[in-house]
Amino acid sequence: MQRKTLYQTVYHRLRYQILSGDWPIGSKLPPERKLAEEWGVSRNTIVHAYADLETEELIYSRVGSGRYVQALPPPSALPRLHWKDSLPGGSALSAPSLMTELHALVGTRSALNFAFGEGGNHTRLKAQFAKGIDPLHILETSEADYLFPVQGLPELRSWIAEWMGCEQITEPSQVMITSGSQEALQMTTAILANPGDSIAVEMPTYFGALHLFQSLGLHLIPVPVDNEGMRIDVLEGILSRSRPRFIYTVPTFHNPTGTILSEARRQQLLALSEKHAIPIVEDDAYRHLHFNQEPPPPLKALDRQGNVIYINTFSKVLFPGLRLGWVAANRPFMERLTRYKELSISTNTFVQHALWSYLQKGAFQDHLQEARCHYQRQAAVMDEHLRQLIPKGISYMTPTGGFYYWVSLPEQVSPKELLQKAIEQNVVFATGDMFLPRETEQPFIRLCYSHETEAGIEQGMRILSSLL
Ligand SMILES: Cc1ncc(COP(=O)(O)O)c(C=O)c1O
């Protein structure tokens, strides 16, 4: 090992004293002669070291007063940090926000809105949600300001477990209330998969899920959807070649296509999940919005091995501004989820109490029944207009519940151009590319019939028809 010269030893010792804070910022350095005596070196050695430290801008001299430790590390030695352009989690979020795009589209409240997947004013008000709620009473009688179990209000969780009515979910401990099902999906995804992992996802799929998965750096293995829902035969092929961390599905009144996974395919999907030990994340946001016929049971109700993580929401049966959803799963998963949820403390407790007091008044089931009939009528109005467009080359499947028509356009029609023209006439809808991972011009549009009144649907569809 090469020995340090005396000068180097002195220089490094001084430098260390400064950078370690032994000699604090702004403090006066010992005079050369004194330090030389103290350290048993020549004065020249100290002079030389001080000069070098000054060149490095670690110290500075004040005429007639001596030398001091610089207030800041030498600025030239520090690279400029362009923090706004280099947020560690930023790259995944740098893609344009579909959410913002969708909201910008609707822009003015006067637009005829076939874009938003929610019940709209009429349903929201008809639910009489506010009528059942006395905020003062909630504050006086509950601990709504307190952060009771992280999993959410126990009474509400029991109610949900009972409502779900399946043998797999019987206890409040198997249910967690979340800030909408989007948070439920975000937490579930973060627990099940790491950035870089693969997951199997229906394609097209709900754009909030798509955006979330992409932002978390997951590789999406697309599984096509046909009239009977997810193509399980294709999934089987995928699972013979790769091991996705989970399978994400909206099996009932799928968003955007409106399809229902048939009972046979539900069994096949569960069998595959069991065979390969891959969990299924079942997003069941539209289950309760069927028309005449109840859909097949949720995958969770058929789950034999605890492989299904079930997610649902009050956003579609009441209104999205509530931001209340839930996750139901087996206890080990719920324990992990609870630890994760602790990071954001809990879901809005006051709103949970409000929902609980609304549910206790008993108006919810009537509202739900009414809403189903309401949406069915709206869907029929839209259908009437769509049918007349079939000769022009459009095709679609008539939904039996949920909120959407997934409409295939004639080849020569560009969905984006159609949207532009529609916006000019105050009609908005979602284009098919929003539900697919790449910027592709898909010949599809999604028309949501739940938001507008029947008169609004008539008007909007007349405009769309004239553009096609
Ligand atoms: C399939 C699906 N899951 C989840 C959500 C989001 O629901 P929430 O408002 O509860 O976050 C939506 C909303 O469009 C959806 O279509």
Q: Over the stretch 104-135, which tens digit does the pLDDT of each residue have?
A: 766 656 789 999 888 887 777 888 888 878 88
Atom of ligand 1 nearest to the CA of 250: 1
Q: Please tell me the distance from the alpha carbon of residue 316 to that of residue 206, in angstroms, as a whole number.
A: 14
Is the beta carbon of 378 within 6 A of some atom in ligand 1?
Answer: no
Check whether 220 has a pLDDT greater than 70: yes
Give the phi and the psi of residue 111 in degrees, each rounded to 5: -65, 145
Concatenated DSSP letters for 414-442? -HHHHHHHHHHTTEEEEEGGGGSSS----
Q: Which of 116, 179, 310, 313 to mutate to test the pocket of ligand 1 (most atoms within 8 A of CB)?
A: 313
Q: In terms of C-beta distances under 8 Å and separation of at least 24 residues, what long-range contacts does 56-64 make, across chains too?
A: 58/15, 58/18, 58/19, 59/18, 59/29
Give 181 Cα–ligand 1 centroid separation in angstroms.
6
pLDDT in tens, 343-365: 999 999 999 999 999 999 888 99
Is the beta carbon of 448 within 6 A of some atom in ligand 1?
Answer: no
Give 209 Cα–ligand 1 centroid separation in angstroms.
8
Give 314 Cα–ligand 1 centroid separation in angstroms.
9
Is the beta carbon of 23 within 6 A of some atom in ligand 1?
Answer: no
Check whether 87 has a pLDDT greater than 60: yes
Atom of ligand 1 nearest to the CA of 254: 1
Residue 94 is predicted with a pLDDT of 57
Q: Which of 283, 326, 355 to mutate to test the pocket of ligand 1 (most atoms within 8 A of CB)?
A: 283
Check whether 82 has a pLDDT greater than 90: no
Q: Which CATH architecture describes the domain 6-76?
A: Orthogonal Bundle (1.10)
Q: Please tell me the distance from the alpha carbon of residue 84 to that of residue 78, in angstroms, as a whole number.
A: 17
Atom of ligand 1 nearest to the CA of 184: 11
Check whether 440 has a pLDDT greater than 70: no
Give 293 Cα–ligand 1 centroid separation in angstroms.
22
Q: How confident is the model at residue 144 (pLDDT cuts 50, 70, 90)?
A: low
Q: Which CATH architecture describes the domain 82-128+363-468?
A: Alpha-Beta Complex (3.90)
Which of 123-137, 157-171, 297-311 shows the lowest mean pLDDT across its residues? Answer: 123-137
Give 255 Cα–ligand 1 centroid separation in angstroms.
9
Residue 105 is predicted with a pLDDT of 66
pLDDT in tens, 378-396: 999 999 999 999 999 999 9
Q: How confident is the model at residue 173 (pLDDT cuts 50, 70, 90)?
A: very high
Task: Rank 122-126, 190-194, 437-441 by mean pLDDT and report only the highest.
Answer: 190-194
Atom of ligand 1 nearest to the CA of 313: 10
| Protein residue with least CA distance to atom 13, ligand 1 | 117
Is the beta carbon of 258 within 6 A of some atom in ligand 1?
Answer: no
Q: Please tell me the distance from the alpha carbon of residue 249 to that of residue 311, in angstroms, as a whole number.
A: 10
Check whether 468 has a pLDDT greater than 70: yes
Q: Please tell me the distance from the alpha carbon of residue 299 to that of residue 261, in angstroms, as a whole number.
A: 10
Give 118 Cα–ligand 1 centroid separation in angstroms.
9
Is the beta carbon of 250 within 6 A of some atom in ligand 1?
Answer: yes
Listed residue (401, 408, 397) closest to 378, CA to CA:
401
| Protein residue with least CA distance to atom 2, ligand 1 | 285
Query: Within 13 A of 261's CA, how many CA atoms are on the CB side?
Result: 29
Ramachandran sector of residue 303 (left: φ over 0; alpha: ψ -120 to 50; beta: rest): beta
Q: What is the CATH number of domain 134-362?
A: 3.40.640.10
Placement of tokens 């035969």 in the chain: 233
Q: How confident is the model at residue 76 (pLDDT cuts 50, 70, 90)?
A: low
User: What angle is formed at CA 302 by the lines to CA 297 and CA 307, rounded to 5 degrees?
Assistant: 125
Is the beta carbon of 251 within 6 A of some atom in ligand 1?
Answer: no
Is the beta carbon of 177 within 6 A of some atom in ligand 1?
Answer: no
Is the beta carbon of 252 within 6 A of some atom in ligand 1?
Answer: no
Residue 90 is predicted with a pLDDT of 58
Spell out the domain ranges in the chain: 6-76, 82-128+363-468, 134-362
Q: Which percentage of the chain shows pLDDT scores above 70?
A: 91
Placement of tokens 């579909």 in the chain: 98
Listed residue (310, 319, 329, 326) closest to 358, CA to CA:
319
Q: Which of 210, 289, 309, 316 to mutate to test the pocket of ligand 1 (most atoms within 8 A of CB)?
A: 316
Q: Which of 98, 177, 182, 282 to mutate to test the pocket of ligand 1 (most atoms within 8 A of CB)?
A: 182
Listed residue (371, 341, 302, 347) closest to 156, CA to CA:
347
pTM above 0.85, yes or no: no
Q: How confident is the model at residue 245 (pLDDT cuts 50, 70, 90)?
A: very high
pLDDT in tens, 182-191: 999 999 999 9
Q: Which of 99, 178, 181 to mutate to test the pocket of ligand 1 (most atoms within 8 A of CB)?
A: 181
Give 4 Cα–ligand 1 centroid separation in angstroms.
67
Is the beta carbon of 255 within 6 A of some atom in ligand 1?
Answer: yes
Give 302 Cα–ligand 1 centroid separation in angstroms.
23
Average pLDDT, the chain: 90
Placement of tokens 């307190």 in the chain: 146
Give 277 Cα–ligand 1 centroid separation in angstroms.
26
- The residue ranking higher by pLDDT, 91 or 362, is 362
